[in-house]
Chains A and B, each alone.
Chain A
Amino acid sequence: MNKGSFEVKVGLAEMLKGGVIMDVTTHEQAKIAEDAGAVAVMALERIPADIRAAGGIARMSNPKVIKAIQDTVSIPVMAKCRIGHFAEAQVLEALGVDFIDESEVLTPADEENHIWKHDFKVPFVCGCRDLGEALRRIGEGAALIRTKGEAGSGNIVEAVRHMRRVQSEIRKLTTLQDDELMAEAKRLGAPFELVRQVAKTGKLPVPNFAAGGVATPADASLMMQLGAETVFVGSGIFKSEDPAARARAIVLATTYYNNPEKVAEVSAGLGDAMPGLDLAEIPEEERLAKRGW
Chain B
Amino acid sequence: MTKKTIKVGVLGLQGAFQKHIEIINSLGAEAIDIRYKDQIEGCHGLIIPGGESTTMSKLIDEMNLRESLEKFPGMIFGTCAGAILLSEDGADPRVTPLRRTPVKVMRNAYGRQIESFVENISLSFNDKPFKAVFIRAPKFNNIDSSAEILGHLNGTNVLIRSGNNLLATFHPELTDDPRIHQYFLNCLQ
A residues near B, CB below 8 A? 1-5, 7-8, 11-12, 14-19, 34-40, 74-76, 93, 96-99, 121-123, 251-252, 255-256
B35/A17 in contact, CB under 8 A: no
CB distance from A94 to the nearest CB of B (A): 10
Known A-B contacts A11-B171, A34-B94, A37-B59; the reply to A2 vs B117 at CB < 8 A is yes
CB distance from B74 to the nearest CB of A (A): 24
A251/B18 in contact, CB under 8 A: no
Q: Which residues of A contact B174 (CB under 8 A)?
A: 7, 11, 14
Q: Which residues of B contact A251 (CB under 8 A)?
A: 55, 58-59
A37/B51 in contact, CB under 8 A: no
Give 8 closest A-B pairs by Cβ, nearest first. Answer: A98-B113, A18-B14, A37-B58, A2-B118, A39-B52, A11-B135, A96-B112, A14-B16
Known A-B contacts A96-B112, A98-B112, A99-B113; the reply to A15 vs B54 at CB < 8 A is no
B54/A37 in contact, CB under 8 A: yes
10 further A-B contacts with Cβ under 8 Å, apart from A19-B51, A76-B52, are A4-B114, A7-B133, A8-B117, A11-B133, A15-B16, A18-B51, A19-B15, A37-B54, A39-B52, A252-B62
Tell me the complex Cα distance, A17–B173, Å: 14
Q: Which residues of B contact A122 (CB under 8 A)?
A: 113-114
Q: Which residues of A contact B92 (CB under 8 A)?
A: 74
In the assembled complex, B127 has its CB within 8 A of some CB on chain A: no
Q: Which residues of B contact A252 (CB under 8 A)?
A: 59, 62
B51/A15 in contact, CB under 8 A: yes
Q: Which residues of A contact B9 (CB under 8 A)?
A: none
Which secondary structure characterizes the binding site on chain B? loop
Known A-B contacts A122-B113, A255-B35; the reply to A15 vs B59 at CB < 8 A is no
B35/A75 in contact, CB under 8 A: no
Known A-B contacts A7-B133, A39-B14, A74-B107; the reply to A14 vs B114 at CB < 8 A is no
Instruction: Count residues on chain B whose CB falls below 8 Å from chain A CBs.
Output: 37
In the assembled complex, B64 has its CB within 8 A of some CB on chain A: no
B residues near A, CB below 8 A? 12-19, 35, 50-52, 54-55, 58-59, 62, 80-81, 92, 94, 107-108, 111-119, 133, 135-136, 171, 174
Tell me the complex Cα distance, A253–B80, Å: 24
CB distance from A109 to the nearest CB of B (A): 23
Q: Which residues of B contact A35 (CB under 8 A)?
A: 58, 94
A8/B118 in contact, CB under 8 A: yes
21 sampled A-B residue pairs with Cβ under 8 A: A3-B114, A5-B118, A7-B174, A8-B117, A12-B116, A12-B136, A14-B174, A15-B50, A15-B135, A15-B136, A18-B15, A18-B51, A34-B54, A35-B58, A37-B59, A40-B52, A74-B94, A75-B55, A76-B113, A93-B114, A97-B112
B116/A19 in contact, CB under 8 A: no
> Which partner residue on chain B sits nearest A99 by CB separation?
B113
A19/B14 in contact, CB under 8 A: yes
> Which partner residue on chain A sits nearest B55 by CB separation?
A37
Task: From the candidates B13, B51, B94, B116, name the one contacting A8 in the complex (CB within 8 A).
Answer: B116
A255/B16 in contact, CB under 8 A: no
CB distance from B184 to the nearest CB of A (A): 19
Tell me the complex Cα distance, A195–B37, Å: 41
Q: Which residues of A contact B51 (CB under 8 A)?
A: 15-19, 39
- Which of A1, A15, A76, A97 has its CB near the most chain B CB atoms (within 10 A)? A15
Tell me the complex Cα distance, A235–B113, Å: 26
Q: Which residues of A contact B171 (CB under 8 A)?
A: 11, 14
CB distance from A199 to the nearest CB of B (A): 20
CB distance from B127 to the nearest CB of A (A): 22
Q: Which residues of A contact B62 (CB under 8 A)?
A: 37, 252
Q: Which residues of B contact A39 (CB under 8 A)?
A: 14, 51-52, 55
Q: Which residues of B contact A7 (CB under 8 A)?
A: 118, 133, 174
Tell me the complex Cα distance, A76–B113, Å: 8
B14/A255 in contact, CB under 8 A: yes
